[in-house]
Structure 1
Amino acid sequence: MRGSRLFGAAAILCGLLAPGFASVAMTQQQGGTLRVTHRDNPPSASILEEATISTDMPFMAVFNNLVVFDPESPVNRLDRIVPDLATSWAWSDDNRTLTFQLHHNVTWHDGKPFTSADVKCTWDMLTGKTDSKLRKNPRKTWWFNIKDVATDGDDKVVFHLKDPQPSIMAMFASGFAPVYPCHVPANQMRTHPIGTGPFMFKEFKQNESIKLVRNPNYWKPGKPYLDAIEYTIIPNRATMVLAMVTGKFNLTFTGELTPQLMKDIQQQAPSLQCVMQSTNTQGNLLVNRERPPFDNPLIRKAMTLAIDRKAFSDILSQGAYPVGGANLPPPEGFWGWSKEYMETVPGYGADVEKSREEARKIMRSLGYGPDHLLPLKVTTRNIQDYRDAAVILIDHLKTIYIQAELEPIDTSVWYARLLRKDFSVAMNIQGTGTDDPDVQFFENYLCGSERNYTSYCNPELEKKFHEQSMMQDIDARRKLVWEIDKQLQEDGARPVVFFAEAGTCWWPRVHGIRIARNTIYNHWRFEDVWLDQ
């Protein structure tokens, strides 16, 4: 039943996207600059080192992956993965060995040849098996199952896995898994990235703009069609919307429009093509369990019980945001809880006041009350989505004797603060980019993971992480995934508050835009995009 809903959603989106997809049947035109809005200043240009769409979207066009999710499929799915730098792949050794055959005659933007050594270097770097270190490695735990990577000539690379892992192909296909060049140091990739992709890096002006230009030697004949892509950083949404409706830009930054904003922008410019999608980002409460008094599990439990998830959805999206656990809810998500199962999870019931009374009882037992409030700062990223959610959280915490104030942090230092655990309580909106439990569990909940911002650690539950990862039976795997997810929420590991849905708009003169229904983190290579000038 869940699968049929997923494919039903895909069919609906195909209808929604018909104008954009049908346009590729027209004759593509060469030339022109695609002008795109951008919401904030990316922390760097290195996709492997960053954890935000602010880096992923603008710089994806510089690179290639081994494989990608099929852009013709409106839902990113494990069974819809197509070649990119790899021409083919094959499993052997009881699904513990994965061999990729690579394209010939591909060159990096600086003219050096791409070979299997670059693939090996990339994953040796990601798994920590080389002296070439990344300053940040937020997705190192994605590759927990890679034993080693070997080359077989220039055009073949072999991944040896510790255990069978069907979902590893989804990680390879993610926009967060580009291949990096062996000969370029990691620090240069942060400021002047070199790739094999359809566009070459030209300029990155902090707080102003990002500019890419056409790669004249791209290894896919005839592509790309655009001469250049320019992103202009506009932090204020009202200013961005005005610039978009007046035609200054061709495309909005992905997932930047709330349901109400998308409605408003279409009223102002009816000819704009807009799509609302699940961003595969979740609002979650981060409580630093290493800092007193939040090292007390009772306080963390009380904070979780204070949350009214429906109120978040109603205020932020007029009820459009779905509620779920760690995994993306259906129908867009394949691994999220059913509504019936979710109602069995503590804190997800409809009687919010009952939960809050339980929370107040806990707080009173710890000495807090109307005359003795717990003061704290709610740290959040200084962009509107985060600030709005943080303000709602502060209001909810007031109901259980917690007096909080907002501490907004600039994007350039936000993730560094989280990595250092330099916060007590934070409102976070985080995306994993791929709808798969291996990504979600190992990235966000594994003991010691860089992205495990709350320092949650449950070795016994981690055994189940590995157990579900190896399972071939989808239904059996989903059953175990739901049980793991329920335990994470009961433990208050990082309470999930909502899943965001947001819109992306472009003018009809832009052709070849691909939007996935279940993520904002893929399909931004722009090699098939062209302008009707």
Structure 2
Amino acid sequence: MIIYSKKALDENNQDLRKVIAPGTGAFMFKERKVAEKWVMVRNPNYWDPELPYLDGLELLHIPAWTDRGTAVLTGQADYSPNVSLETHQEGLKRKDIVGTVRYPGEFNSYQVHINNERKPFNDPRVRRAINLAVSRQNLIKAFGTQEPIMLTRWMTHASEFASPLKELEGLPGYRADKAADIAEAKKLMAAAGVPDGVKGVDLVSASVAPHAEILAPAFQEELRRTLGIETKIRVMERALLIEELKKGTFDMMVHTEYRSPISDPGPGWEMCLKTGGSLNFSRYGNPEFDRLLKQINSETDRAKRKRLFAQGMALLDQTAPLYLIGFTDHLPMWRNYVKGHASEARVFSELGRVDTFWLDR
């Protein structure tokens, strides 16, 4: 959480995105080279006089995971919080120069937001059809060299309330054999009045290569092949996607904004699925789900919560607010001389503190 003074906000019309925001962080802004890097220097007046240990930081703009991993492997960068699977695997062979681990169970996911306010996606039957017909296994495989995506159902696989993988692999929409799912999906499309599919659908993607060149085209082809839904991919700078989501000027969007701050999915469902939630970018609104969520987040008995979460997942499967591809595992990598980050001891990749980093060289 960041707290700004009323004076600073009033002076900038409540918008600090166009100025250097005031703060008391460990590092201070020095320079920005667009699409290249941000340069920060040590704050000599930081509240803790012992920190930070580093004299400065250079935050490199490297959108693609493979390029991040390559930068660390070749010594062009010292640390990355998330590299591609292929460079992570290479790093495991190069323990003489780098360290790398896999965090098993992140709180972030890949999904396709479906605008619930736009026809025909305002009909839950169409959204349910998409969730049934599009193969999660195919999308996960297509993206496999980039970032590990796990087969998951409405919450991170790290949660104690998650559906067991063996159970999940037998459920409609999640199973690998799509024959029955596609047949049911086509019935739903016909009942919704679009038996021949939908034309001219706007599918937005970040311009980073793994999204624009792998994940979005793979999803596009699944829609076309299974349901006759024809999309046109519209590519944007990743930083601009959040404004597009807020305005609702899209039909579908490949993104990573379905998440939870902790492994318990309760807070995440509040943000992403509750009517009017701060991250409910699909604009899903379901009074039945809202009532159930209120029960979940006021219940303290674990067994009862588990049953309530199961009810919630079943309801979400039927009403399909968005298309969840799956939650991820993250892969940090660092040069061996980078100390103080404790990546090898963490269980998820909320990096948080760089003020304790130091270089042993």
TM over 0.5: yes
Q: Secondary structure at the match of 1:210?
A: strand
Residues 362 and 348 from structure 1, CA distance in 2 versus in 1: closer, same or farther, beyond 3 angstroms? same
Q: Secondary structure at the match of 1:503?
A: coil
**Structure 2 counterpart of 1:317:** 144
Please point out which of 352, 374, 380 is paired with 2:199. 374
Q: Secondary structure at the match of 2:256?
A: strand
Q: Deviations over 1:362-389 (max 9, x none)?
A: 44563544xx763323211222343322
CA contact (8 A) 1:181 1:195 kept: no
**Structure 1 counterpart of 2:317:** 489
Once the two structures are TM-superposed, the CA of residue 444 in structure 1 deviates from its matched residue by 0.4
Question: Number of matched residues?
Answer: 350
**Structure 2 counterpart of 1:355:** 181
Taking the aligned partners of 2:314 and 2:91, their CA distance within structure 1 comes to: 39
**Structure 1 counterpart of 2:285:** 457
Once the two structures are TM-superposed, the CA of residue 305 in structure 1 deviates from its matched residue by 1.3
CA contact (8 A) 1:322 1:500 kept: yes
**Structure 2 counterpart of 1:271:** 97
Q: Which runs of 4+ in 1 moved over 6 A?
A: none
Q: Secondary structure at the match of 1:438?
A: helix
Once the two structures are TM-superposed, the CA of residue 233 in structure 1 deviates from its matched residue by 1.2
Residues 490 and 228 from structure 1, CA distance in 2 versus in 1: closer, same or farther, beyond 3 angstroms? same
Taking the aligned partners of 2:201 and 2:307, their CA distance within structure 1 comes to: 38
**Structure 2 counterpart of 1:124:** none
**Structure 2 counterpart of 1:390:** 216
1:421 aligns with 2:259: no
Please point out which of 115, 118, 132 is paired with 1:305. 132
Query: What letter is aligned with 1:290?
Result: E
Please point out which of 30, 53, 65 is paired with 1:225. 53
1:526 aligns with 2:349: no
**Structure 2 counterpart of 1:411:** 238
Shifted more, 186-195 versus 502-511: the winner is 186-195
**Structure 1 counterpart of 2:108:** 281
Query: What letter is aligned with 2:252?
Result: V
Query: What letter is aligned with 1:291?
Result: R
Taking the aligned partners of 1:282 and 1:460, their CA distance within structure 2 comes to: 25
Taking the aligned partners of 1:506 and 1:209, their CA distance within structure 2 comes to: 18
Which aligned pairs between 1:48-447 and structure 2 lie closer than 5 A? 177-185=1-9, 186-188=14-16, 191-236=19-64, 239-252=67-80, 254-255=81-82, 257-267=83-93, 270-277=96-103, 278-317=105-144, 320-329=148-157, 332-339=158-165, 342=168, 345-364=171-190, 366=193, 368-369=195-196, 374-387=199-212, 388-398=214-224, 399-430=226-257, 431-447=259-275
Once the two structures are TM-superposed, the CA of residue 270 in structure 1 deviates from its matched residue by 4.9
Query: What letter is aligned with 1:293?
Result: P
Once the two structures are TM-superposed, the CA of residue 230 in structure 1 deviates from its matched residue by 1.0
Once the two structures are TM-superposed, the CA of residue 447 in structure 1 deviates from its matched residue by 1.0
Identity of aligned residues (%): 23
Taking the aligned partners of 1:529 and 1:466, their CA distance within structure 2 comes to: 41
Q: Secondary structure at the match of 1:392?
A: helix
Query: What letter is aligned with 2:121?
Result: F
Taking the aligned partners of 2:71 and 2:168, their CA distance within structure 1 comes to: 42
Q: Secondary structure at the match of 2:329?
A: strand
CA contact (8 A) 1:326 1:440 kept: no
Taking the aligned partners of 1:404 and 1:338, their CA distance within structure 2 comes to: 33
Query: What letter is aligned with 1:471?
Result: E
TM-score calculated relative to the size of structure 2? 0.86
Taking the aligned partners of 1:363 and 1:460, their CA distance within structure 2 comes to: 23
Taking the aligned partners of 1:425 and 1:394, their CA distance within structure 2 comes to: 10
CA contact (8 A) 1:201 1:213 kept: yes
Query: What letter is aligned with 1:178?
Result: I
Q: Secondary structure at the match of 1:187?
A: coil
Query: What letter is aligned with 1:322?
Result: M
Taking the aligned partners of 1:437 and 1:489, their CA distance within structure 2 comes to: 16
Structure 1 residue runs without a partner (length 5+): 1-176
Taking the aligned partners of 1:457 and 1:422, their CA distance within structure 2 comes to: 18
TM-score calculated relative to the size of structure 1? 0.60
Q: Deviations over 1:74-101 (max 9, x none)?
A: xxxxxxxxxxxxxxxxxxxxxxxxxxxx
**Structure 1 counterpart of 2:308:** 480
CA contact (8 A) 2:130 2:223 kept: yes
Taking the aligned partners of 1:303 and 1:293, their CA distance within structure 2 comes to: 12
Q: Calculate the aligned-residue CA RMSD, in Å.
A: 2.7
Residues 285 and 243 from structure 1, CA distance in 2 versus in 1: closer, same or farther, beyond 3 angstroms? closer
Taking the aligned partners of 2:294 and 2:219, their CA distance within structure 1 comes to: 34
Taking the aligned partners of 1:384 and 1:434, their CA distance within structure 2 comes to: 29
Structure 2 residue runs without a partner (length 5+): none
Residues 451 and 530 from structure 1, CA distance in 2 versus in 1: closer, same or farther, beyond 3 angstroms? same
Taking the aligned partners of 1:312 and 1:446, their CA distance within structure 2 comes to: 27
Residues 345 and 353 from structure 1, CA distance in 2 versus in 1: closer, same or farther, beyond 3 angstroms? closer
CA contact (8 A) 1:378 1:424 kept: yes
